[in-house]
Protein backbone atom coordinates (compact mmCIF):
# COMPACT_ATOMS: atom_id res chain seq x y z
CA UNK A 1 0.00 0.00 0.00
CA UNK A 2 2.81 2.41 0.77
CA UNK A 3 4.46 2.26 -2.65
CA UNK A 4 7.25 4.77 -3.29
CA UNK A 5 6.45 8.33 -4.23
CA UNK A 6 6.74 9.33 -7.86
CA UNK A 7 10.15 10.92 -8.30
CA UNK A 8 10.35 14.67 -8.86
CA UNK A 9 10.60 15.46 -12.54
CA UNK A 10 9.03 12.17 -13.65
CA UNK A 11 6.24 12.32 -16.27
CA UNK A 12 2.98 13.51 -14.72
CA UNK A 13 0.95 10.58 -16.01
CA UNK A 14 -2.27 10.00 -14.09
CA UNK A 15 -2.33 7.22 -11.52
CA UNK A 16 -4.98 4.63 -12.41
CA UNK A 17 -6.43 2.48 -9.65
CA UNK A 18 -8.75 -0.32 -10.84
CA UNK A 19 -11.76 -1.41 -8.80
CA UNK A 20 -12.18 -5.10 -9.59
CA UNK A 21 -15.91 -5.82 -9.57
CA UNK A 22 -16.26 -8.13 -12.54
CA UNK A 23 -18.67 -6.74 -15.13
CA UNK A 24 -19.05 -3.60 -12.99
CA UNK A 25 -15.34 -2.89 -12.71
CA UNK A 26 -14.18 0.70 -13.14
CA UNK A 27 -11.10 2.87 -12.84
CA UNK A 28 -10.17 5.65 -10.44
CA UNK A 29 -7.98 8.11 -12.34
CA UNK A 30 -5.87 10.41 -10.14
CA UNK A 31 -3.81 13.40 -11.27
CA UNK A 32 -3.66 17.14 -11.87
CA UNK A 33 -5.66 18.79 -14.64
CA UNK A 34 -7.87 15.79 -15.42
CA UNK A 35 -11.07 17.80 -15.89
CA UNK A 36 -9.85 18.71 -19.37
CA UNK A 37 -9.91 15.02 -20.37
CA UNK A 38 -13.30 14.25 -18.78
CA UNK A 39 -15.26 14.45 -22.04
CA UNK A 40 -12.85 12.15 -23.87
CA UNK A 41 -12.99 9.58 -21.08
CA UNK A 42 -16.78 9.59 -20.99
CA UNK A 43 -17.10 9.43 -24.78
CA UNK A 44 -14.83 6.38 -24.80
CA UNK A 45 -17.01 4.64 -22.20
CA UNK A 46 -20.45 5.65 -23.47
CA UNK A 47 -20.33 6.89 -27.08
CA UNK A 48 -23.24 9.18 -27.88
CA UNK A 49 -24.47 9.52 -24.30
CA UNK A 50 -25.90 12.75 -22.92
CA UNK A 51 -25.11 13.76 -19.34
CA UNK A 52 -26.72 15.57 -16.44
CA UNK A 53 -24.14 17.27 -14.24
CA UNK A 54 -25.27 17.44 -10.61
CA UNK A 55 -23.33 19.94 -8.52
CA UNK A 56 -23.76 22.52 -5.78
CA UNK A 57 -23.77 26.29 -6.04
CA UNK A 58 -20.21 26.77 -4.76
CA UNK A 59 -18.64 24.08 -6.95
CA UNK A 60 -20.63 25.36 -9.93
CA UNK A 61 -18.97 28.76 -9.62
CA UNK A 62 -15.51 27.21 -9.53
CA UNK A 63 -15.63 24.20 -11.82
CA UNK A 64 -18.87 23.85 -13.80
CA UNK A 65 -17.70 25.94 -16.78
CA UNK A 66 -14.53 23.86 -17.21
CA UNK A 67 -16.54 20.66 -16.89
CA UNK A 68 -19.08 21.75 -19.50
CA UNK A 69 -16.28 22.88 -21.83
CA UNK A 70 -14.58 19.49 -21.56
CA UNK A 71 -17.84 17.72 -22.34
CA UNK A 72 -18.63 20.03 -25.27
CA UNK A 73 -15.18 19.51 -26.77
CA UNK A 74 -15.93 15.78 -26.91
CA UNK A 75 -19.33 16.39 -28.51
CA UNK A 76 -21.28 15.52 -25.37
CA UNK A 77 -24.57 17.30 -24.72
CA UNK A 78 -25.00 18.25 -21.06
CA UNK A 79 -27.41 19.91 -18.68
CA UNK A 80 -26.60 21.21 -15.20
CA UNK A 81 -28.56 20.57 -12.01
CA UNK A 82 -27.36 22.91 -9.26
CA UNK A 83 -28.43 22.41 -5.63
CA UNK A 84 -27.61 24.35 -2.46
CA UNK A 85 -24.26 23.65 -0.83
CA UNK A 86 -24.06 21.63 2.38
CA UNK A 87 -25.27 18.55 4.18
CA UNK A 88 -28.82 19.90 4.10
CA UNK A 89 -29.01 18.90 0.43
CA UNK A 90 -28.85 15.22 1.39
CA UNK A 91 -32.59 15.35 1.95
CA UNK A 92 -35.78 13.87 0.53
CA UNK A 93 -36.73 17.26 -0.91
CA UNK A 94 -33.46 17.79 -2.78
CA UNK A 95 -33.40 14.16 -3.91
CA UNK A 96 -36.84 14.70 -5.47
CA UNK A 97 -35.64 17.90 -7.13
CA UNK A 98 -32.64 16.14 -8.68
CA UNK A 99 -34.63 13.14 -9.89
CA UNK A 100 -37.27 15.36 -11.47
CA UNK A 101 -34.58 17.48 -13.15
CA UNK A 102 -32.90 14.37 -14.58
CA UNK A 103 -36.19 13.20 -16.07
CA UNK A 104 -37.05 16.70 -17.33
CA UNK A 105 -33.67 16.85 -19.11
CA UNK A 106 -34.65 13.70 -21.06
CA UNK A 107 -31.72 11.75 -19.65
CA UNK A 108 -32.40 8.22 -20.87
CA UNK A 109 -31.18 4.86 -19.63
CA UNK A 110 -28.20 4.92 -21.96
CA UNK A 111 -27.15 8.35 -20.71
CA UNK A 112 -25.14 9.39 -17.66
CA UNK A 113 -25.21 11.42 -14.49
CA UNK A 114 -22.04 13.20 -13.37
CA UNK A 115 -21.56 13.93 -9.68
CA UNK A 116 -19.39 17.05 -9.62
CA UNK A 117 -18.69 17.92 -6.01
CA UNK A 118 -17.82 16.63 -2.58
CA UNK A 119 -19.29 13.79 -0.58
CA UNK A 120 -22.75 15.34 -0.34
CA UNK A 121 -23.08 15.66 -4.11
CA UNK A 122 -21.58 12.23 -4.73
CA UNK A 123 -24.05 10.57 -2.35
CA UNK A 124 -27.04 12.58 -3.58
CA UNK A 125 -26.32 12.33 -7.32
CA UNK A 126 -25.40 8.66 -7.03
CA UNK A 127 -28.67 7.86 -5.26
CA UNK A 128 -30.62 9.85 -7.85
CA UNK A 129 -28.80 7.94 -10.60
CA UNK A 130 -29.66 4.65 -8.91
CA UNK A 131 -33.33 5.67 -8.79
CA UNK A 132 -34.21 7.79 -11.83
CA UNK A 133 -35.53 5.65 -14.69
CA UNK A 134 -34.81 2.69 -12.39
CA UNK A 135 -31.09 3.11 -12.72
CA UNK A 136 -28.64 5.25 -14.69
CA UNK A 137 -24.87 4.96 -14.91
CA UNK A 138 -22.93 7.74 -13.27
CA UNK A 139 -19.44 9.19 -13.07
CA UNK A 140 -17.86 10.58 -9.92
CA UNK A 141 -15.81 13.78 -10.25
CA UNK A 142 -14.92 14.45 -6.60
CA UNK A 143 -13.86 18.00 -5.78
CA UNK A 144 -12.86 17.57 -2.12
CA UNK A 145 -10.12 15.55 -0.48
CA UNK A 146 -12.69 13.59 1.52
CA UNK A 147 -14.55 12.61 -1.63
CA UNK A 148 -11.38 11.74 -3.56
CA UNK A 149 -10.07 9.35 -0.92
CA UNK A 150 -13.32 7.92 0.38
CA UNK A 151 -16.90 8.70 -0.60
CA UNK A 152 -16.47 8.66 -4.41
CA UNK A 153 -15.19 5.07 -4.33
CA UNK A 154 -17.26 2.02 -3.51
CA UNK A 155 -20.80 2.76 -4.60
CA UNK A 156 -22.38 3.90 -1.35
CA UNK A 157 -25.04 6.49 -2.18
CA UNK A 158 -27.80 8.01 -0.12
CA UNK A 159 -29.45 10.79 1.82
CA UNK A 160 -30.00 11.53 5.48
CA UNK A 161 -33.07 10.79 7.55
CA UNK A 162 -34.25 12.78 10.54
CA UNK A 163 -33.17 9.72 12.50
CA UNK A 164 -29.56 9.85 11.34
CA UNK A 165 -27.00 10.03 8.56
CA UNK A 166 -27.12 7.97 5.34
CA UNK A 167 -30.08 5.87 6.47
CA UNK A 168 -31.81 5.97 3.06
CA UNK A 169 -29.86 5.00 -0.05
CA UNK A 170 -28.51 2.28 -2.32
CA UNK A 171 -25.31 0.58 -3.37
CA UNK A 172 -24.72 1.89 -6.89
CA UNK A 173 -21.21 1.76 -8.34
CA UNK A 174 -19.95 4.51 -10.66
CA UNK A 175 -18.51 3.60 -14.05
CA UNK A 176 -15.56 5.96 -13.59
CA UNK A 177 -13.99 8.16 -10.92
CA UNK A 178 -11.92 11.15 -12.08
CA UNK A 179 -9.99 12.66 -9.17
CA UNK A 180 -8.43 15.90 -10.39
CA UNK A 181 -6.10 16.90 -7.58
CA UNK A 182 -5.83 20.46 -8.92
CA UNK A 183 -9.44 21.00 -7.82
CA UNK A 184 -8.28 20.70 -4.23
CA UNK A 185 -6.26 23.89 -4.58
CA UNK A 186 -9.46 25.92 -4.24
CA UNK A 187 -10.67 24.18 -1.07
CA UNK A 188 -10.87 26.23 2.14
CA UNK A 189 -8.31 25.00 4.68
CA UNK A 190 -11.02 23.74 7.00
CA UNK A 191 -12.53 21.59 4.23
CA UNK A 192 -9.13 20.16 3.35
CA UNK A 193 -8.40 19.33 7.00
CA UNK A 194 -11.78 17.63 7.28
CA UNK A 195 -10.95 15.48 4.26
CA UNK A 196 -7.57 14.60 5.73
CA UNK A 197 -9.40 12.87 8.59
CA UNK A 198 -10.33 10.10 6.15
CA UNK A 199 -6.71 9.82 4.99
CA UNK A 200 -5.47 9.40 8.56
CA UNK A 201 -8.33 7.02 9.31
CA UNK A 202 -7.17 4.70 6.55
CA UNK A 203 -3.70 4.40 8.05
CA UNK A 204 -5.10 3.97 11.56
CA UNK A 205 -7.45 1.16 10.57
CA UNK A 206 -5.23 -1.00 8.40
CA UNK A 207 -1.83 0.38 7.39
CA UNK A 208 0.52 1.27 10.23
CA UNK A 209 3.39 2.04 7.84
CA UNK A 210 1.20 4.52 5.95
CA UNK A 211 0.19 6.19 9.21
CA UNK A 212 3.85 6.60 10.17
CA UNK A 213 4.48 8.10 6.73
CA UNK A 214 1.57 10.52 7.28
CA UNK A 215 3.02 11.63 10.61
CA UNK A 216 6.21 12.61 8.80
CA UNK A 217 4.73 13.98 5.57
CA UNK A 218 1.29 15.45 6.24
CA UNK A 219 2.49 19.01 5.69
CA UNK A 220 3.57 18.09 2.14
CA UNK A 221 0.08 16.71 1.48
CA UNK A 222 -1.41 20.02 2.56
CA UNK A 223 1.12 21.91 0.42
CA UNK A 224 0.01 20.06 -2.71
CA UNK A 225 3.29 18.30 -3.49
CA UNK A 226 3.52 14.82 -5.03
CA UNK A 227 2.80 13.58 -1.52
CA UNK A 228 -0.84 14.58 -2.05
CA UNK A 229 -1.36 12.31 -5.06
CA UNK A 230 0.56 9.55 -3.32
CA UNK A 231 -1.70 9.71 -0.26
CA UNK A 232 -4.86 9.76 -2.37
CA UNK A 233 -3.64 6.78 -4.41
CA UNK A 234 -2.74 4.77 -1.30
CA UNK A 235 -6.21 5.34 0.16
CA UNK A 236 -7.94 4.53 -3.13
CA UNK A 237 -5.94 1.34 -3.67
CA UNK A 238 -6.72 0.19 -0.17
CA UNK A 239 -10.40 0.98 -0.41
CA UNK A 240 -10.67 -0.52 -3.91
CA UNK A 241 -9.27 -3.79 -2.58
CA UNK A 242 -11.69 -3.85 0.33
CA UNK A 243 -14.68 -3.00 -1.88
CA UNK A 244 -13.73 -5.73 -4.37
CA UNK A 245 -13.70 -8.27 -1.55
CA UNK A 246 -16.78 -7.01 0.32
CA UNK A 247 -18.92 -4.74 -1.85
CA UNK A 248 -22.06 -4.82 0.31
CA UNK A 249 -20.32 -4.36 3.67
CA UNK A 250 -21.09 -7.78 5.09
CA UNK A 251 -17.64 -8.13 6.65
CA UNK A 252 -14.29 -6.45 6.02
CA UNK A 253 -15.71 -3.26 4.51
CA UNK A 254 -17.21 -2.33 7.87
CA UNK A 255 -13.66 -1.53 9.00
CA UNK A 256 -13.83 1.62 6.86
CA UNK A 257 -16.35 2.89 9.40
CA UNK A 258 -13.67 3.40 12.04
CA UNK A 259 -14.72 6.51 13.95
CA UNK A 260 -18.08 6.73 12.21
CA UNK A 261 -20.35 5.30 14.92
CA UNK A 262 -19.39 8.04 17.36
CA UNK A 263 -18.84 10.51 14.52
CA UNK A 264 -22.22 10.12 12.82
CA UNK A 265 -24.01 10.52 16.16
CA UNK A 266 -22.09 13.72 16.88
CA UNK A 267 -22.69 15.01 13.35
CA UNK A 268 -26.42 14.37 13.63
CA UNK A 269 -26.42 15.92 17.08
CA UNK A 270 -24.94 19.08 15.56
CA UNK A 271 -27.82 19.17 13.10
CA UNK A 272 -25.68 18.25 10.05
CA UNK A 273 -24.52 21.84 10.15
CA UNK A 274 -21.36 23.84 9.70
CA UNK A 275 -20.68 23.45 13.41
CA UNK A 276 -19.20 20.03 12.73
CA UNK A 277 -18.18 18.92 9.24
CA UNK A 278 -18.32 15.23 8.38
CA UNK A 279 -14.53 14.82 8.37
CA UNK A 280 -14.27 16.66 11.68
CA UNK A 281 -16.85 14.28 13.14
CA UNK A 282 -14.84 11.32 11.80
CA UNK A 283 -11.65 12.68 13.41
CA UNK A 284 -13.38 13.11 16.76
CA UNK A 285 -15.07 9.72 16.42
CA UNK A 286 -11.73 8.07 15.59
CA UNK A 287 -10.09 9.60 18.66
CA UNK A 288 -13.01 8.32 20.76
CA UNK A 289 -12.78 4.84 19.19
CA UNK A 290 -9.09 4.65 20.14
CA UNK A 291 -9.82 5.88 23.66
CA UNK A 292 -12.69 3.40 24.02
CA UNK A 293 -10.38 0.62 22.82
CA UNK A 294 -7.82 1.68 25.44
CA UNK A 295 -10.51 1.71 28.11
CA UNK A 296 -11.39 -1.87 27.16
CA UNK A 297 -7.73 -2.85 27.45
CA UNK A 298 -7.33 -3.57 23.74
CA UNK A 299 -4.56 -1.03 23.13
CA UNK A 300 -2.16 1.02 25.20
CA UNK A 301 -2.90 4.56 26.31
CA UNK A 302 0.18 5.52 24.28
CA UNK A 303 -1.39 4.28 21.03
CA UNK A 304 -4.59 6.19 21.76
CA UNK A 305 -2.59 9.32 22.55
CA UNK A 306 -0.54 8.91 19.36
CA UNK A 307 -3.66 8.74 17.18
CA UNK A 308 -5.18 11.77 18.88
CA UNK A 309 -1.93 13.74 18.73
CA UNK A 310 -1.66 13.39 14.96
CA UNK A 311 -5.25 14.42 14.33
CA UNK A 312 -4.84 17.38 16.67
CA UNK A 313 -1.56 18.42 15.03
CA UNK A 314 -3.39 18.77 11.73
CA UNK A 315 -6.01 20.96 13.42
CA UNK A 316 -8.87 18.49 13.74
CA UNK A 317 -11.14 18.16 16.80
CA UNK A 318 -10.30 15.29 19.14
CA UNK A 319 -12.28 16.15 22.29
CA UNK A 320 -16.02 16.65 22.73
CA UNK A 321 -15.33 20.13 24.06
CA UNK A 322 -13.84 21.00 20.64
CA UNK A 323 -17.31 21.05 19.03
CA UNK A 324 -18.56 24.65 18.77
CA UNK A 325 -21.82 25.02 20.65
CA UNK A 326 -21.33 21.74 22.48
CA UNK A 327 -22.76 18.27 21.87
CA UNK A 328 -26.08 16.68 22.82
CA UNK A 329 -26.61 15.12 26.23
CA UNK A 330 -25.93 11.47 26.90
CA UNK A 331 -29.50 10.28 26.26
CA UNK A 332 -29.64 12.00 22.86
CA UNK A 333 -26.20 10.65 21.89
CA UNK A 334 -27.15 7.11 22.83
CA UNK A 335 -30.40 7.37 20.83
CA UNK A 336 -28.40 8.49 17.79
CA UNK A 337 -25.84 5.70 18.21
CA UNK A 338 -28.71 3.20 18.37
CA UNK A 339 -29.69 4.30 14.83
CA UNK A 340 -26.25 3.44 13.40
CA UNK A 341 -26.44 1.30 10.25
CA UNK A 342 -24.18 -1.36 11.81
CA UNK A 343 -26.69 -2.11 14.58
CA UNK A 344 -27.90 -5.70 14.26
CA UNK A 345 -31.08 -6.79 16.00
CA UNK A 346 -30.67 -3.93 18.43
CA UNK A 347 -27.07 -4.80 19.35
CA UNK A 348 -24.37 -2.14 19.01
CA UNK A 349 -21.45 -2.76 16.68
CA UNK A 350 -18.26 -0.69 16.86
CA UNK A 351 -15.02 -0.67 14.91
CA UNK A 352 -12.31 -0.90 17.55
CA UNK A 353 -8.54 -1.40 17.37
CA UNK A 354 -5.84 -3.65 18.76
CA UNK A 355 -3.12 -1.22 17.73
CA UNK A 356 -2.24 1.33 15.07
CA UNK A 357 -3.41 -0.19 11.77
CA UNK A 358 -5.22 -3.08 13.47
CA UNK A 359 -8.94 -2.35 13.38
CA UNK A 360 -11.57 -5.04 13.87
CA UNK A 361 -15.35 -5.35 14.13
CA UNK A 362 -16.67 -5.73 17.67
CA UNK A 363 -20.25 -6.96 17.75
CA UNK A 364 -22.65 -6.80 20.69
CA UNK A 365 -20.93 -3.92 22.48
CA UNK A 366 -22.59 -3.13 25.79
CA UNK A 367 -24.71 0.01 25.56
CA UNK A 368 -24.12 0.55 29.27
CA UNK A 369 -20.36 0.49 28.68
CA UNK A 370 -20.66 3.03 25.85
CA UNK A 371 -22.91 5.23 27.99
CA UNK A 372 -20.44 5.18 30.88
CA UNK A 373 -17.55 6.01 28.55
CA UNK A 374 -19.33 8.93 26.89
CA UNK A 375 -20.59 10.23 30.24
CA UNK A 376 -16.98 10.43 31.40
CA UNK A 377 -15.98 12.23 28.21
CA UNK A 378 -18.89 14.69 28.48
CA UNK A 379 -17.86 15.51 32.03
CA UNK A 380 -14.14 15.79 31.25
Tell me what the mean pLDDT of segment 295-308 comes to.
98
Provide CB contacts within 8 A for 20, sequence distance 6+. 240, 244
CA atoms within 13 A on the CB side of 112: 29
Same domain, 372 and 296: yes
Q: Which of 90, 237, 260, 341 is catalytic?
A: 260
Q: Which of 134, 162, 189, 345 is catalytic?
A: 134
Question: CATH number, domain at 220?
Answer: 3.40.50.1970
Q: Which of 237, 278, 308, 377 is catalytic?
A: 278
pLDDT band, very low/low/confident/very high, at 54 (cuts 50, 70, 90): very high
**Final residue in a domain of this structure, among 197, 232, 250:** 250
Same domain, 136 and 197: yes
Same domain, 98 and 201: yes
Higher confidence at residue 219 or residue 341? 219
Same domain, 112 and 228: yes
> How high is the pLDDT of residue 187?
94
Same domain, 232 and 313: no
228 is catalytic: no
Neighbours of 87 (CB within 10 A): 21
Question: CATH number, domain at 283?
Answer: 1.20.1090.10
pLDDT band, very low/low/confident/very high, at 300 (cuts 50, 70, 90): very high
pLDDT in tens, 237-258: 999 999 999 999 888 999 999 9
Higher confidence at residue 79 or residue 346? 79
310 is catalytic: no
253 is catalytic: yes
Which range, of 154-168, 204-218, 296-310, averages the lowest pLDDT? Answer: 154-168
Same domain, 218 and 278: no
Tell me what the mean pLDDT of segment 305-330 comes to.
97
> How high is the pLDDT of residue 195?
97
Same domain, 200 and 291: no
134 is catalytic: yes
pLDDT band, very low/low/confident/very high, at 10 (cuts 50, 70, 90): very low
Same domain, 195 and 339: no
pLDDT band, very low/low/confident/very high, at 100 (cuts 50, 70, 90): very high
* pLDDT above 70 for 346: yes
* pLDDT above 60 for 18: yes
Higher confidence at residue 334 or residue 380? 334
Tell me what the mean pLDDT of segment 155-167 comes to.
92
Same domain, 120 and 22: yes
Contact call for residues 195 and 149 (beta carbons, < 8 A): yes
Tell me what the mean pLDDT of segment 4-20 comes to.
71
239 is catalytic: yes
* pLDDT above 60 for 7: no
Q: How far is CA 168 from the centre of its chain?
A: 16
* pLDDT above 70 for 9: no
Same domain, 223 and 338: no
Kindly report the CA angle at 35 between 31 and 36, in degrees rounded to 5?
110
Q: Which of 63, 193, 239, 306 is catalytic?
A: 239
Domain count, the chain: 2
Residue 325 CA to residue 196 CA, distance in Å, equals 23
* pLDDT above 90 for 43: yes
Same domain, 136 and 232: yes
> How high is the pLDDT of residue 5?
54
Tell me what the mean pLDDT of segment 14-29 comes to.
97
**Final residue in a domain of this structure, among 250, 281, 299:** 250
**Final residue in a domain of this structure, among 182, 216, 250:** 250
Which range, of 3-7, 46-50, 65-69, averages the lowest pLDDT? Answer: 3-7
Strand ranges for the chain from DSSP E: 15-19, 26-31, 51-56, 78-83, 112-117, 137-142, 156-161, 164-171, 176-180, 348-353, 359-365
Q: Which of 46, 63, 90, 156 is catalytic?
A: 156
pLDDT band, very low/low/confident/very high, at 275 (cuts 50, 70, 90): very high
106 is catalytic: no
Q: Spell out the SS3 assignment of 320-377.
A: HHHCCCCCCCHHHHHHHHCCCCCCECCEEEEEEECCCCCEEEEEEECHHHHHHHHHHH
Domain assignment of residue 179, given as a range: 1-250
Average pLDDT, the chain: 94
Residue 310 CA to residue 312 CA, distance in Å, equals 5
pLDDT in tens, 129-144: 999 999 999 999 999 9
Residue 30 CA to residue 196 CA, distance in Å, equals 16
* pLDDT above 90 for 224: no
Got the DSSP string for 215-240? HHHHHHHHHTSHHHHHHHHHHHHHHH
Same domain, 89 and 237: yes
pLDDT in tens, 66-85: 999 999 999 999 999 999 99
Provide CB contacts within 8 A for 58, sequence distance 6+. 85
Amino acid sequence: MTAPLRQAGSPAEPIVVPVALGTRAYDIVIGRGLIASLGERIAALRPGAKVAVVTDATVAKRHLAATEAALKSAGIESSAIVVPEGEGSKSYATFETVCEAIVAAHIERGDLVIALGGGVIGDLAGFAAASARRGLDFVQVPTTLLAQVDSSVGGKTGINSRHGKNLVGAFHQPILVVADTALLDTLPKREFRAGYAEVAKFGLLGDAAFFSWLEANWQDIFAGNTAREHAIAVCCRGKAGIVARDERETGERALLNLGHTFGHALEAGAGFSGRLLHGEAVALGTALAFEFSARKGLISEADAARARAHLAAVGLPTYLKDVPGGVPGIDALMDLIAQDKKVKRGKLTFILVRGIGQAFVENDVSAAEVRAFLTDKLNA
